[in-house]
């Protein structure tokens, strides 16, 4: 019924020499394919995040794996350290993994035999108030090479 009234009003205004402004429909958002989870590697370690894009208030799990044969000097009580920074370099999160199993870490040294892997994880609880944008996570496993992963919080530029 409202549409009929609108059409009658438009016809009346047009007949009287007035112009009718028609609203341009808002384009529909295009579907953006899921981004693959970020990953990085430098012998003897590799790292991944379980998401490339997250919403504020959700979580991201960072995983770093040391593959043998390798020996890495680490803090056995907190072997994997993660520092997340925003686009300006400001640290927004830092965390560490639980202690390494006693069988894996002796006197600050993780020795990984050939064909064996040792895995550590840190979960980032993304604050609900964090602004959207690109963030960089630096993963530090003792004296192994530092690895960085980039991910988006909120919407990716170009998305609706």
Residue 32 covered by a domain: no
Residue 99: domain span: 38-153
Residue 10 covered by a domain: no
Residue 126 covered by a domain: yes
Given a cut of 80, is residue 108 above it in pLDDT?
yes
4-49 residue pLDDT tens? 444 444 444 444 454 444 444 444 444 445 789 999 999 999 999 9
Given a cut of 90, is residue 152 above it in pLDDT?
yes
**Based on the number of CB atoms within 10 Å of its own CB, is 59 exposed (0-12), middle (13-18) or buried (19 or more)?**
exposed
Spatial separation of the C-alpha atoms in residues 69 and 39, rounded to whole Å: 21
Residue 7 covered by a domain: no
Residue 106 covered by a domain: yes
Cα distances (angstroms) measured from residue 149 to each of 3, 50, 144, 153: 52, 11, 16, 13
Give me the number of domains the chain comprises: 1
Residue 143 covered by a domain: yes
Counted residue by residue, the chain has a size of 160
Query: Among residues 29, 102, 100, which one has the least CA distance to residue 65?
Result: 100
Residue 85 covered by a domain: yes
Q: What is the pTM of this model?
A: 0.76
Given a cut of 80, is residue 89 above it in pLDDT?
yes
Residue range 110-126: average pLDDT? Answer: 95
**Based on the number of CB atoms within 10 Å of its own CB, is 137 exposed (0-12), middle (13-18) or buried (19 or more)?**
buried
Query: For all residues of the chain together, what is the average pLDDT?
Result: 83
For residue 140, how many other CB atoms are within 10 A of its CB?
19
Please report, for the domain that includes residue 129, its CATH number: 2.60.40.1930
Residue 128 covered by a domain: yes
């Amino acid at each position: 019924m409202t549409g009929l009234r609108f059409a009658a009003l438009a016809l009346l205004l047009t007949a009287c020499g007035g112009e009718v402004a028609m609203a341009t429909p808002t384009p529909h958002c295009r579907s953006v394919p899921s981004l693959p989870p970020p990953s990085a590697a430098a012998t003897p370690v590799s790292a991944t995040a379980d998401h490339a894009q997250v919403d504020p208030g959700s979580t991201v799990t960072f995983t770093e794996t040391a593959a043998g044969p390798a020996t890495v000097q680490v803090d056995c009580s907190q072997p994997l350290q993660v520092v997340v920074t925003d686009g300006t370099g400001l640290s927004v999160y830092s965390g560490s993994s639980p202690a390494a199993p006693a069988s894996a870490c002796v006197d600050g040294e993780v020795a990984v035999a050939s064909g064996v892997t040792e895995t550590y994880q840190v979960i980032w609880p993304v604050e609900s108030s964090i602004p959207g944008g690109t963030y960089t996570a630096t993963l530090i496993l003792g004296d192994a090479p530092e690895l960085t992963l980039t991910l988006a919080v909120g919407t990716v530029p170009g998305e609706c």
